[in-house]
């Protein structure tokens, strides 16, 4: 999918650069902090009253975390280094939620000693670990969600059925912990705004069930799943806000609990542009064969999410608007898995040649943090954050 009628790229010096040797060496990601701030504000108003916990793994650049600290965000983490990152960027420990259900004992202890209060679990064994290494902590039971409607379901690895979550929350109290609520994740890049509905309804049932055991839960954690805007198939974020609000209303009415939401992808995806260079354009299997375009970034340099070709990054070149034709897009390494798009029909200008710049848009999430340390001498992908003053009054 090339932007055939968008010729603005030709006036962008960062994309016409590349042949004279003076331009910065690609590949690198440019992340626009003003866009992250704007997205934080949009997400904050999406579900009334919901507290944003940015899922750090989507893009852990320290400037992103610091920007979100200043904006008022809380954070969702999965390891000691992510906690240290948030604390050193100025986050308060009580604004950090340890949402992973698979935590090292030493990391639980570290979090607890440093003032992190909230921990998630989806098994009795993890509950016992939390009780031992973070005695008295607030805990969430993670509910299984089938991930239907999402590009990357998380259901196979995380979450327990509602009945078990309720039983474990009761057990948590017996172990001296403070059961506070239920969390779930409806799958990443969720394209159905109503996908949160069934899990919200199950959460309300869990609240009722444990209330019978004398436990009042007060928090629902809606997890991640909000989309990046990779293409026209993505519904507007406002539709998600309306759908989620409607589902909360139906399940809880006037007794709506505290709401947490953990956007990772949606917070940063659209704010990133990955600058790359064409290494080779060739016809495989002779002149009639497919045209292959090899970039200097690939599956191992940050584009891991091209696996299965489920995410289609929009692309820009300096030749946009000129006649274009199908390509197979590949990375530069000597590994046959390093093909980005073989089946998805990408069209790129016929005039594209080695040394030209190609920009991959919407690459702010799950790119830098997925990049290898240097497979075949390529990488790791660097992230440079740029900032500009917010628009007046914004």
Ligand X SMILES: *Cc1c(COP(=O)(O)O)cnc(C)c1O
Q: Which residues bind ligand X (CB under 6 A)?
A: 55, 57-58, 76, 99, 185, 188, 223-226, 262-266
Nearest CB to ligand X, comparing residues 112 and 185: 185
Compare residues 225 and 302 and give the one whose CB is closer to ligand X: 225
Establish whether 334 is a catalytic residue.
Answer: yes
Active-site residue, selected from the candidate residues 74, 86, 105, 334: 334
Nearer to ligand X, 258 or 350 (CB): 258
Nearer to ligand X, 293 or 311 (CB): 311
3-class SS string, the chain: CECCCCCHHHHCHHHHCCCCCCCCCCCEEEEEHHHHHHHHHHHHCCCCCCEEEEEHHHCCCHHHHHHHHHHCCEEEECCHHHHHHHHHCCCCHHHEEECCCCCCHHHHHHHHHCCCCEEEECCHHHHHHHHHHCCCCEEEEEECCCCCCEEECCCCCCCECHHHHHHHHHHHHHCCCEEEEEECCCCEEECCHHHHHHHHHHHHHHHHHHHCCCCCCCEEECCCCCCCCCCCCCCCHHHHHHHHHHHHHHHHHHHCCEEEECCCHHHHHHHEEEEEEEEEEEECCCCCCCEEEEECCCCCCCCHHHHHHCCCCCEEECCCCCCEEEEEEECCCCCCCCEEEEEEEEEEECCCCCCCEEEEECCCCCCHHHCCCCHHHCCCCEEEEECCCCCCCC
Shortest distance in whole angstroms from residue 185 CB to ligand X: 5
- 78 or 327, CB closer to ligand X? 78
Which residue's CB atom is positioned nearest to ligand X? Answer: 224
**Which amino acids are annotated catalytic?**
334
């Amino acid at each position: 999918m090339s932007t055939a009628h968008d010729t603005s790229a030709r006036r962008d010096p960062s994309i016409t650069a590349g042949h004279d040797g003076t331009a910065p060496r690609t590949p690198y990601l440019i992340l626009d902090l003003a866009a992250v701030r704007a997205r934080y504000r949009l997400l904050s108003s999406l579900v009334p009253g919901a507290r944003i916990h940015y899922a750090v793994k989507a893009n852990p650049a320290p400037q992103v975390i610091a920007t979100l600290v200043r904006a008022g965000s809380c954070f969702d983490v999965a390891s000691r280094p992510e906690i240290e990152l948030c604390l050193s960027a100025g986050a308060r420990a009580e604004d950090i939620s340890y949402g992973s259900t698979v935590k090292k004992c030493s990391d639980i202890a570290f979090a607890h000693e440093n003032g992190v209060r909230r921990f998630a679990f989806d098994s009795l064994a993890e509950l016992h670990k939390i009780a031992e290494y973070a005695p008295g902590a607030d805990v969430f039971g993670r509910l299984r969600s089938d991930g239907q409607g999402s590009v990357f379901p998380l259901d196979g690895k995380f979450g327990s059925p509602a009945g078990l979550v309720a039983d474990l929350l009761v057990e948590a109290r017996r172990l001296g912990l403070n059961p506070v609520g239920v969390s779930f994740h409806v799958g990443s890049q969720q394209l159905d705004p109503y996908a949160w509905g069934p899990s919200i309804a199950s959460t309300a049932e869990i609240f009722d069930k444990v209330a019978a055991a004398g436990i009042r839960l007060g928090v629902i954690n809606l997890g991640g799943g909000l989309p990046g805007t990779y293409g026209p198939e993505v519904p507007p974020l406002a539709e998600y806000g309306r759908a989620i609000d409607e589902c909360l209303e139906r399940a809880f009415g006037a007794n709506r609990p505290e709401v947490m939401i953990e956007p990772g992808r949606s917070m940063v995806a659209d704010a990133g542009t990955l600058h790359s260079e064409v290494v080779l354009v060739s016809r495989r299997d002779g002149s009639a064969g497919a045209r292959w375009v090899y970039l200097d970034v690939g599956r191992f340099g940050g584009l891991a999410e091209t696996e299965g070709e489920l995410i289609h990054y929009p692309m820009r070149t300096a030749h946009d608007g000129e006649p274009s034709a199908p390509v197979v897009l590949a990375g530069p390494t000597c590994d046959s898995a390093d093909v980005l798009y073989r089946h998805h029909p990408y069209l790129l200008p016929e005039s594209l040649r080695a040394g030209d710049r190609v920009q991959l848009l919407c690459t702010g999430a799950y790119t830098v943090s997925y990049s290898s340390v240097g497979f075949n001498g390529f990488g790791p992908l660097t992230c440079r954050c740029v900032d500009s003053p917010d628009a007046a009054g914004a």
